[in-house]
Amino acid sequence: MRILIIQFSGTGNTRRIAEVLRQEFEDNGAESRIIPMEHITLGKITPDYAGWDIVGIGFPVHAMDAPAIVYDFIGTLPKSATRYFLFKTAGSTTFNAGSTYNIRHKLALLGWKLIHEQLYEMPPNAFGTANPKKVNKRYFKARALAIKTAAEILGGVNSRLADPMIRNLLYRFAALEKHGAQQSSKRWIVSSACTLCGICVENCPTENIHIEEGKLLFDDKCLLCLRCWWNCPARAISHTFLKPFFLKEPYILPNDNDISEETNG
Ligand SMILES: Cc1cc2nc3c(=O)[nH]c(=O)nc-3n(C[C@H](O)[C@H](O)[C@H](O)COP(=O)(O)O)c2cc1C
Ligand code: SF4
Ligand code: SF4
């Protein structure tokens, strides 16, 4: 069994779940590989989907939907009868963190067959609080679910998330957020603490950040994934009006072998 996992992750939650799934697949005799979604949307990689038995697609929930990059990625996919599973991470499970109807629909039009779908409640990377105890508790619960999910996928168990009744309303909210992300793209600000190290430039999934004449400039392709803000070693990045919704500072997910600390309370 060969399982390819394609994931987008702004701040590491989705990537960590992808890593747990990959490890579980491998520990149970399957071959598995993870590809960051932006490597595909930026044209760095074109996977040979026919060479894989199952493809997993993972992303963080943004405004009860997927970030725009997920739709861009689906636009790159070939028509085929590929079996796929979906996984999404969110800061809350309210309304199943939105609907994947539009994603499933687009993939169905390409002939792709959904075999499994799972939502993982992870620490919120914005719009909330993330003290270390909550971060650890959420992570280890999600990790246990990912281990179960991997067994289900390998065992051929089908599963699908129910669509919230207010799906259309949620999609309208999501459209507003996508518009807002683009509109606010140039509202990132950089303080004098910036060392021009280039980390944010190299890692932005839409190549939205450039250095010109010793200054950091943002284009209009922001996904609000927060990766630049999260990973800046100088804590030099801020946002003119979204700052109040950000966490005080980025959290660090626990190592898998820290579980004894978590269970001990
Ligand atoms: C712009 C933005 C919008 C978000 N919207 C939601 C949301 O609607 N519902 C939710 O439960 N979490 C929401 N979140 C929280 C993330 O989905 C959650 O923390 C996710 O695990 C982050 O994954 P990542 O680290 O892979 O980027 C949002 C986060 C951001 C940055
Ligand atoms: S990561 Fe931070 S310090 Fe480095 S270039 Fe970007 S803003 Fe400047
Ligand atoms: S500018 Fe920052 S928040 Fe926007 S897409 Fe790039 S890394 Fe993500």
- Whether residues 37 and 107 share a domain: the answer is yes
Candidates 242, 26, 17; CA nearest to 139 is 17
Q: Are 40 and 72 in contact (CB under 8 A)?
A: no
Question: Count of domains in the chain?
Answer: 2
In-domain check, residue 174: no
- Whether residues 132 and 153 share a domain: the answer is yes
The set of protein residues with a Cβ atom below 6 angstroms from ligand 2 is: 190, 194-200, 216, 232, 234, 236-237
Distance 48 CA to ligand 1 centre (A): 30
- Whether residues 136 and 199 share a domain: the answer is no
In-domain check, residue 157: yes
The ligand that comes nearest to the alpha carbon of residue 226 is: 3
- Whether residues 193 and 153 share a domain: the answer is no
Residue 262 is predicted with a pLDDT of 46
Q: How large is the average pLDDT for residues 98-102? A: 94
| Atom 3 of ligand 2: nearest residue by CA position | 194
Candidates 245, 16, 222, 226; CA nearest to 127 is 245
pLDDT averaged over the chain?
93
Instruction: Using pLDDT thresholds of 50, 70 and 90, give the confidence band for residue 83.
Output: very high
In-domain check, residue 180: no
The set of protein residues with a Cβ atom below 6 angstroms from ligand 3 is: 10, 204-206, 208-209, 218, 222-228
* Rounded Cα–Cα distance for residues 200 and 204 (Å): 6
How much of the chain, in percent, has pLDDT values that exceed 70?
97
- The yes-or-no verdict on residue 60 having pLDDT over 80 is yes
Atom of ligand 2 nearest to the CA of 199: 1
Question: At 222, which CATH number?
Answer: 3.30.70.20
Least confident of 10-19, 99-108, 110-119, 253-262: 253-262
- Whether residues 73 and 136 share a domain: the answer is yes
123-148 pLDDT, tens digit each: 999 987 889 999 999 999 999 999 99
- What 39-43 contacts at long range (C-beta under 8 Å, 24+ apart), as own/partner pairs, is 40/6, 40/73, 40/76, 41/69, 41/72, 41/73, 41/76, 41/205, 41/206, 42/205, 42/206, 42/207
Contacts of 209 (CB under 8 A, 6+ apart): 200, 201, 216, 217, 218, 219, 228
Instruction: Using pLDDT thresholds of 50, 70 and 90, give the confidence band for residue 259.
Output: low
210-257 pLDDT, tens digit each: 999 999 999 999 999 999 999 999 999 999 888 888 999 999 999 987
Beta pairing partners, 84: 55, 114
Q: In terms of DSSP H, where are the helices of 155-219?
A: 167-183, 199-203
Q: Count Cβ atoms within 10 A of the Cβ of residue 187 and give its class: 0-12 exposed, 13-18 middle, 19 or more buried.
A: middle
* Rounded Cα–Cα distance for residues 180 and 170 (Å): 15
Residue 166 is predicted with a pLDDT of 87
Domain that holds residue 88: 2-166+252-263
Pairing of β 237-239 and β 188-190: antiparallel
- The yes-or-no verdict on residue 61 having pLDDT over 50 is yes
Atom of ligand 3 nearest to the CA of 226: 3
184-210 pLDDT, tens digit each: 888 899 999 999 999 999 999 999 999
- Whether residues 85 and 107 share a domain: the answer is yes
The ligand that comes nearest to the alpha carbon of residue 199 is: 2
Candidates 246, 244, 220, 219; CA nearest to 232 is 246
- Whether residues 115 and 232 share a domain: the answer is no
Local structure of residue 49 (DSSP, 8 states): G
